Amino acid sequence: MSVIWSTVTVDTVKTAALGLSGASLVIGLIMMKVVSSIVGKIVSIVIFLAIALAGYSQRAAVIDCANAVKGQATATASVETTCTFFGQDITVKVPQPSK
């Protein structure tokens, strides 16, 4: 896992977390059609909503982590920082500030 997440940009992590949330909601809706019992529907929708909320909260945590060091980035160099994403330490490259 460390090779995949060795150095990523903030936008990549935000997109991945948002994709996880969206995919979880879509799968939850599909499961609502497939599962016939009401108890199964409730259990599956609760599980997929929990996954979606976890993905969204991780996205917010990475954004906060990147914003904490954003002021250190200069016009000529970006800054790398270590953030936590689902319990894994990842190195996030904070881009140069736009003018």
Domain ranges of the chain: 10-72
The arithmetic mean of pLDDT across residues 38-67, rounded, is: 84
pLDDT tens track for 25-51: 888 888 877 877 888 878 888 888 888
- Note the pLDDT of residue 53: 87
The arithmetic mean of pLDDT across residues 78-87, rounded, is: 78
Per cent of the chain over pLDDT 70 is 80
The arithmetic mean of pLDDT across residues 10-26, rounded, is: 81
Q: Answer for the pair 81, 35: CB distance below 8 angstroms, yes or no.
A: no
Q: What is the mean pLDDT of the chain?
A: 77
Per cent of the chain over pLDDT 90 is 0
Handedness of CA 6, 85, 15, 46 (dihedral sign): positive
